[in-house]
Amino acid sequence: MTDPSPDPEPPRSECSSTASPGATDPDAASERMEAVRRCEALLFAAETPLSVADLAQRLGAGVDVAACLARLEADYADRGINLVRVGGRWQFRTAADLAHLMRREVDETRKLSRAGVETLAIVAYHQPVTRAEIEDIRGVSISKGTLDVLLAAGWIKPRGRRQTPGRPLTYGTTDAFLVDFGLDSLDALPGLADLKAAGLLDSVDAAFDRLGPDAADDADDADDADDADDEADDERDAVTETSHQDEATLGDLAAGRRGPAPGQEGS
């Protein structure tokens, strides 16, 4: 008669912990499960991925960290959150096939720069206007980025080329500009009287006070001139002077809307 073969050794748990000599099997299983739970909690709360050494230091001696990680990796394999290894460290991450649920569109509000406001006002009141004319009215050069921002916002667009030497590109406002600023048409843009009533031209008056009474008289004479081109020249010079005094505002630039820039085509 042959001796019966010895019973196979029971499989070893994936996550083991050194038990005390008198510990029973239920006690050992409880310790293993507790080690998995603590490892899970550390990984869940960590702001950055954790290494095996990091986990071992926090879980204490006698815990098989690798086995705990294998258990958690298997438990979370088919769930919305997976335990993944990145750069030799471990971290919970959203399942790759659910990444589209985490995406959302956020409207980012950006304040338009002073140069952008001035440029937009010039285009609105003097369109179609070239870049050189914008710089002439502002009294300073304009960076390409300023026009790019307004183009990207959809507030201005190219309006064709001026039939002059060099054929410079002209710019005008768009329908989106009217919608965003609550205007029915360009005729609804505030006039000089409206801007004064709103106090938007106070800085212009202050600039004239510093320049002296002659400058204010010249501006008044320009307002009464019959020649539209001469009137535009005078008012544009006044705006340039206030810009040099660092007092130009949206209202300052809007004051020249009644006369088109010299050589300007009809809208």
Helix (H, G, I), strand (E, B), or coil: what is residue 87?
A: coil
Residues contacting residue 16 through CB under 8 Å, at least 6 positions apart: 32, 64, 67
Please name which of 224, 228, 249, 229 lies closest in space to residue 239, comparing C-alpha atoms. 249
In angstroms, the Cα distances linking 258 to 16, 104, 224, 235, 240 are: 86, 45, 12, 9, 16
pLDDT reported for residue 41: 94
Task: Say how far apart CA 12 and CA 253 lie, in whole Å.
Answer: 82
Q: In the prediction, which pLDDT does 79 show?
A: 93
Q: Where are the domains of the chain?
A: 26-96, 114-254
Amino acid type, 257:
R
Match 């809307």 to its residue by tokens. Answer: 257
CATH class of domain segment(s) 26-96: mainly alpha
Judge whether 26-96 and 114-254 match in fold.
Answer: yes
pLDDT at residue 21 in the model: 43
Helices (runs of H) and strands (runs of E) counted in the chain: 12, 5
Angle ∠(240,224,267) on CA atoms, nearest 5: 65
Task: Determine the Cα–Cα distance for residues 134 and 139; give it in Å rounded to an integer.
Answer: 8
Handedness of CA 133, 134, 136, 137 (dihedral sign): positive
Average pLDDT of span 218-241:
47
Tens digit of each residue's pLDDT (9 = 90 or more) over 63-79:
999 999 999 999 999 99
Q: What is the mean pLDDT of residues 38-54?
A: 92
Banded pLDDT at 158 (limits 50, 70, 90): very high
For residues 189-217, give the mean pLDDT: 62
Q: What confidence category does residue 51 fall into, taking pLDDT thresholds of 50, 70 and 90?
A: very high
pLDDT at 245 over 50: no
For residue 71, give every residue at least 6 positions away whose Cβ sits within 8 Å of its Cβ, in sequence order, or none.
14, 15, 36
* Residue 190, C-beta contacts closer than 8 angstroms, at least 6 positions apart: 198, 254
CA torsion, points 113, 119, 124, 129, in degrees to nearest 10? -160
End-to-end CA distance of the chain: give it in Å, rounded: 113
Chain centroid to CA 25: 59
What class, spelled out in words, does domain 114-254 have in CATH? Answer: mainly alpha
